[in-house]
A and B are shown apart, each in its own frame.
Chain A
Amino acid sequence: MNRIDAKFQSLRQKQESAFIPYLCGADPNLEVTRQLILALDQVGTDIIELGVPFSDPIADGPTIQKASERALESKVTLNQLLDLVTELRRETEIPIVLMGYYNPIFFMGTERFFIKAKSVGVDGVIIPDLPIEESTQVLEMAQSHDVKVIFLVAPTSTPERMKKIAEASTGFIYCVSVTGVTGARQHVSTEIAPMVTELRKHTEKPICVGFGISNPGQAESVAKVADGVVIGSAIIDRIEANLGDETAIVQSVAQFATDLIQGIRG
């Protein structure tokens, strides 16, 4: 069974929600990303969202933009991130979802990408600039290589679109909590509950919520309605605050993750 499906099956039995941190691959370098993923696994993280840095991240706020710029300084490539997953798979079975804009995948060739993703142990992909209308080929390739394709639902999505997206999405559905770009916010969006309610009418698939969630209290309140909580920019803030001290980066992210997990588990 795909690691994502297995994870949500076991979480459902325990009636728990998933903690899903986002890291920008190679921010600040590949070795730190490797250490971070292993540390996150150890403190009880459920799924890793591994960002593929891109030169023009149009759906991301300043925090992830800067993380991408830091990562790209070392000219990191999609191939190198896939190799990182190979390395990680010697030490961990944590589900890994790659999140990245479409162009690097298109450049590699969609079929080649999914063959390699599967063979290195990637469990799913999130492509934020690939709406369902453009996804036919990606879905076909992903399915034939048993990689999940997680689509995003936004507050602007009509009920009709939500239904289509819920049908197309595999693994889980990613609910974008705000009309806006990624980034930590002071308050949790009031748009979450109505969106999740609408989606539940159409699907039994797990629904995870992300964008703008930045502390254990917010994570706790989101976990009450969602099957998973995605946290990105607030984690990257910890990396940014400790740049130059790799041990401190790993420690502070692991500590923050522990606090977030406590919030999520109630």
Chain B
Amino acid sequence: MEQLQSSVLMPDATGRFGEFGGRFVPETLMPALLELEEAYNHFKNDPDFQAELKHYLREYVGRPNPLYFAERLTAELGGAQIYLKREDLNHTGAHKINNTIGQILLAKRMGKKRIIAETGAGQHGVATATVCAKFDFECEIFMGEEDVRRQSLNVFRMRLMGAKVTPITSGSRTLKDAVNATFRDWVTNVRTTYLLIGSAVGAHPYPMIVRDFQSIIGQETKQQIQEQTAKLPDLVVACVGGGSNSIGMFYPFCQDIEVSLIGVEAGGKGILSGEHSASLSAGSVGVFHGAKCHLLQENEGQVTPAHSISAGLDYPGVGPEHSFYQESGRAKYVSITDHEALEGFQRLAELEGIIPALETAHAIAYLSKVAPQMSSDQTIVLCLSGRGDKDVYTVADASGVRI
């Protein structure tokens, strides 16, 4: 329990969550990471900064969003009461904007003029392009060529808002390679450019900053569930790619040990097939994109391209705080296949009239494994991290439908 008590204070001064995290980056970037850490530590306690953040979260993002009781889904699964935290109702349709609003206000105070970001599904790219339009920043988004194809709608949205979208043709042409390209741009333009990472990954202080800005999800949920049920939930479920919506949901509950935390990774074509993105369930510890964390690797330390039907989960690493939660036993991580995720997608659409993002659909699919095992006086909260409009082509394609 001592470990859990201290986990609220993590990371330590070197960016460690237990043994995970750290700053494994080229020297060129170290001064920029130290500058960012100093700026963040200053502004996070600055009342003006907090007031401005609160203002935009309310007036621009539309927070707080509802914690919604999913009546028909609960009845269908026949067990625990299921509540959905509606991050899909945020401006831009996903949780990603919680973080981009926070970081753009930080970038503004740091005097940066240009923003770069990586994106997989395009949700973080859209959320970044959005705040860059609103706060008048130059914006360049790096996106794997394969994801540009899978997520053409989001690419168009980013360009509408004035962002430059650069397709990446190296490596596996997905999120991993987009992150590499973003790092390379930052190494070159670090003096003028702010790197706006969208997941709880990368070198310190990014996992901490992203977690803190996403923690609004868990904070609101904690208050709302107590208002509605007069108690804490028994189980909190969220999908995990890099792990930003899940860490934002989990962190405010990390000391409430009676609340179980389950992260759902993308099992792709099944763990045994080798084509998946389940770095916690099936990977091993290594150093990737600046941090010590779990990752998929082969051939004595080469990083394996991940696979998932959902572009946003298609990443071979994971945030270091999740690695710590797994090692310490505070959270459990499971995986859901592409096929199961498609079923979850369909089920939520039919039963609740909500089309979820394919990322979120993994968490929904997991509910059918766990909710029926629980009793009707227990509650589950699921982080409905994004809406699924962007995924309808992928889903239609997988179902053999032409639209």
Instruction: Name A residues whose Cβ lies closer than 8 Å to a Cβ of B.
Output: 54-62, 65, 69, 72, 75, 77-79, 102-108, 128-131, 133-134, 151-158, 161, 165, 176, 179-181
Contact = CB atoms under 8 A, between A and B. Distances in A.
A151 B27 contact: yes
Contact of B287 (A72, A106, A181): A106
Contact of B299 (A61, A75, A151, A155): A75
Interface in B197-225: none
A102 B300 contact: no
Contacts of A62: 170
16 contacts: A55-B171, A56-B288, A58-B180, A58-B184, A59-B28, A78-B300, A78-B301, A104-B300, A129-B25, A133-B23, A134-B23, A152-B27, A153-B27, A154-B27, A156-B190, A157-B30
Contacts of A54: 301-302
Given A55-B171, A129-B24, A133-B30, 13 more contacts: A59-B184, A69-B171, A103-B297, A103-B301, A105-B301, A131-B26, A131-B27, A133-B14, A156-B190, A158-B31, A176-B26, A179-B189, A180-B188
A105 B286 CA distance: 10
Contacts of A65: 170
B287 A108 contact: no
A108 B24 contact: no
Interface bracket on B:
35 or more
Nearest to B285: A106
Contact of A58 (B183, B191, B301, B302): B183
The dominant DSSP class at the B interface is mixed
Nearest to B302: A55
Contacts of B299: 72, 75, 77
Given A58-B184, A108-B301, A181-B188, A102 B27 contact: no
B398 to A, nearest CB: 28
A153 B297 CA distance: 30
A176 B302 contact: no
Contact of A181 (B32, B187, B288): B187
A106 B171 contact: no
B286 A107 contact: yes
Given A78-B300, A152-B27, A179 B191 contact: yes
Contacts of B24: 102, 129-131, 134
Interface string B370-398: 00000000000000000000000000000
Nearest to B14: A133
B27 A106 contact: no
Nearest to B184: A181
B301 A56 contact: no
